[in-house]
Amino acid sequence: MEAKPSSSSPSKFVDQLVVPGDVILDLSNMANQTLKLGGGLRQDGDSICAMKAGKLRFMKPNKYWVESSQKRYVPSAGDNVLGVVVDTKPENFVVDIKGPALAFLPVLSFEGGTRRNIPKFEVGTLLYVRVVNANTGMNPEVSCMDANGKAAEYGILKDGYMFESSTGLSRMLLSSPPHPVLEGLGKKLSFEIAVGINGRFWVNASQSSTVILVGNAIQKSESLSLVQQKIYLEKLLKSIQ
Amino acid sequence: MSSFATFAKTLLQTLSSPPCVFTKVKTRCHHRDCYRRCRLRRRRLQAREKMEQRLASSLIMTVNEKKFIEDALLSDIRVDGRRPFDYRNLTIRFGSEDGSSEVQLGQTQVIGFVTGQLTQPYRDRPNEGAFAIYTEFSPMADPSFEPGRPGETAIELGRIVDRGLRESRAVDTESLCVIAGKLVWSIRIDLHIIDNGGNLVDAANIAALAALSTFRRPECTLGGEDGQELIVHPPDVREPLPLILHHFPVAVTFGFIGKENIVVIDPTHYEEAVMGGSMTATLNTNGDVCAIQKAGGDGVLQSVIMQCLRIASVKAGDITSKIKNAVESYNTQRSLRKIKRHNLDQQGSSDVAKHHMERLTVGSDQSGNGSQFNEHDKTNKRNNTLKGFSGGPASWDPYSSGVDGDALRTTLASRVTPLDKHKEESSPVNPETKPSPKSSDTIGLEMKQSKTLKDAVKPKHKRRNKSNAC
């Protein structure tokens, strides 16, 4: 996701903070090029301006988007999210993914799912699902299978505890190089974690105290810089012993 | 095609694709059945949307969370790392006006605001003042709060806080009487919930107590020509009086989670969704139980209730001391502000720096004798701070670059009436000071009783009337 200077000079604002109204690119001196605009950008005649406040990102060859951290999630296809079942219908489960509308999980979208072996999810079940399509105005559709039809670790998450975070923290947890606090705790303690890009993450361990420690540490480290995170991690590990 | 075929075709068309506004047909069928079907479908769609909205706005809990909270409590630990009988971090802040407080208890935030008005007393209590509590659950606090009429929880919260203050006679209502049978002070406490992180009752109670402790009402005396007129003195002439609070009734909320009735204090939002029952005990530091509220929920053993009350009295002591500390520091700041303004007022503004030290000594003598500071029993503290005080305006007001006396006099002289309610865009000299003492006699300070408290309090950013200073 770094910007390398290419022949069609990418915007000066790449990897910098932009606010609504900033003109990212001037199209008048770029001809015969296709640009893909992601979230937070808008074409205004001959210029591309930012609509959201956040960091401008660029991916080769031609994708631009604005990345910001919010508590609400805007569903988009291909994301892996943590959903909670709120209702069951004959055709699909109604799942909440922290977006503007509830998502539908078709009853048959499980590996080897037929009408005979429909899983029984009660209200409040936590699921790790993939967003299949999310168009504005429609309820998004999610699925417990990957694109090839395999289960691939999607499905119900048992035990553990789900913590709320912001979308920015979820992205940080999923980024590589890994989040320092997460990595440090992982070396010392044994736990499993599932991160949904919609601002939720789930932690499970053999002991409740471990779960609480990991969850709270990650939540508190959101607003710390890298250096502060390392200091926080050291203090935390010392207090565990 | 034969006529029968066309008829069959149209009939099939009508039956198979019911014409209504939701499907794309060119003509709209005007049969009564179609209308009825349309209406039904529309109603069903609206009901579905409403249910979706309701589901989305209520707190969505997973089964994992419920089970985990109960399991973790078996080993005496809560989700945010607290122990079962620990309170969250409590921060009490005050606004720039007397009688406004902001309390933050963990994630929960409540704003309290106290105002007073002169009214007629109740017929059966002619020499007692009145007070009333109004709660507002702002929709920004929680997605399930709706604007408009207060819901059940809002009314219950208001009742708990009201009962704690009224039944225990914490607020001295008899001192609020001005003319028996005719005029009393009516105190209004507004509680605004800004953020719901659980345990709104405790936070709202602390906000009410903090706001009541810092509220000041103007002093009223009987005077005038015939001695029967009521004069409400504005705060710059006579120092407003605080309310008399006999004690601090502090509310402590317990939640009962799980079948073994594990007790937690100060439940968070998630714990409240999981708990089977809750109890709020209002006590003060003298050990009196002012009120207990347990509305529904799981039953608890008598021994558990007694244990809760013992724990609550300890917590009440902690919280009372925190409130008192916060109120004290606010009062010292307030009196410091008053001294600085009082000092600056004594002299013409052109020689501010030169005569500052002189004024300090004059001011301190006056302040020692003046009736303004009689009720403050912190004169010792203030004298100490006065001695440590040195220098001109720059030392106490970082924004001020000194005042141009002549320009000031001309602008002030051109003003029509001081009771004008326009907020003048004055320079940010004193962004936070309260209305300055006006020592002029030409400004009509005596006010008739028909004016309310709002008229008594001058707008904040008014420039003091230096041209009329002595």
pLDDT digits (tens, 9 = 90+) for A52-89: 898 888 888 888 888 888 888 989 888 899 999 999 99
CB contact (8 A) between residue B79 and residue A202: no
The answer to whether residues B160 and B208 touch, using CB atoms and an 8 Å cutoff, is: no
Rounded mean pLDDT, A118-142: 91
B269-306 in b/e form (b: 16+ CB < 10 A) is bbbbbbbbbbbbbbbbbeeeebbbbbeeeeebeeebbe
Q: Which two three-digit tokens encode residue B338?
A: 């008053």
CB contact (8 A) between residue B67 and residue A159: yes
In this prediction, residue B200 carries a pLDDT of: 94
Tally of helices (H runs) and strands (E runs) in chain A? 4, 16
Strand A41-44: give its sheet, edge to edge.
A23-26, A47-50, A41-44
Structure pTM? 0.71
A121 near B CB under 8 A: no
The answer to whether residues A184 and A237 touch, using CB atoms and an 8 Å cutoff, is: yes
In this prediction, residue A198 carries a pLDDT of: 92
Helix axis angle, B200-214 to B302-345, nearest 10°: 30
pLDDT at B52 over 90: no
In this prediction, residue B232 carries a pLDDT of: 82
User: What are the chain B neighbours of A81 within 8 Å (beta carbons)?
Assistant: none
Q: Is B332 left (phi over 0), alpha (psi -120 to 50) or beta?
A: alpha
Please indicate whether residue B314 or residue B457 has the higher confidence score (pLDDT): B314
Cα dihedral: A227, A232, A233, A238 (round 10): 130
Q: What is the pLDDT of residues B235-283, one digit of tens each?
A: 778 888 899 999 999 999 999 998 877 899 999 999 998 988 999 999 9
Residue carrying the six token digits 């609020």: B176
Grade residue B324 by pLDDT with cuts at 50, 70 and 90. very high
Distance (Å, rounded) from C-alpha A110 to C-alpha A123?
A: 18
Best of A73, A89, A102, A127 to disrupt the B interface (most B CBs within 10 Å) is A102
Q: What is the pLDDT of residues B66-77, one digit of tens each?
A: 999 999 998 889
Lowest mean pLDDT among A124-133, B181-190, B295-304, B367-376: B367-376
In this prediction, residue B404 carries a pLDDT of: 57
pLDDT at A222 over 80: yes
Distance (Å, rounded) from C-alpha A104 to C-alpha A90?
A: 11
- B325: distance to nearest CA of chain A, Å? 29
A74 near B CB under 8 A: no
* Percent of chain A surpassing pLDDT 70: 96
Residue A119: cis peptide before it, omega within 30 degrees of 0: no
B222 near A CB under 8 A: no
Grade residue A23 by pLDDT with cuts at 50, 70 and 90. confident
Q: Which residues pair with A104 in a beta bridge?
A: A94, A141
B398 near A CB under 8 A: no
In this prediction, residue B414 carries a pLDDT of: 60
Instruction: Among A87, A125, A211, select the one facing B55 at the smallest CB separation.
Output: A87
- B140: distance to nearest CA of chain A, Å? 14
Q: What is the pLDDT of residues B287-305, one digit of tens each?
A: 889 999 998 888 899 999 9
Best of B44, B48, B63 to disrupt the A interface (most A CBs within 10 Å) is B63
Distance (Å, rounded) from C-alpha B331 to C-alpha B388?
A: 19
In this prediction, residue B345 carries a pLDDT of: 64
In this prediction, residue B38 carries a pLDDT of: 77
Residue of chain B nearest A99, judged by CA positions? B56
Instruction: Among B67, B71, B80, select the one facing A216 at the smallest CB separation.
Output: B80
Instruction: Among A86, A94, A159, select the one facing B64 at the smallest CB separation.
Output: A159
> What is this model's ipTM?
0.84
In this prediction, residue B390 carries a pLDDT of: 47
pLDDT at B465 over 80: no
Residue of chain A nearest B73, judged by CA positions? A208
Residue A84 has phi, psi (to 5 degrees) of: -120, 130
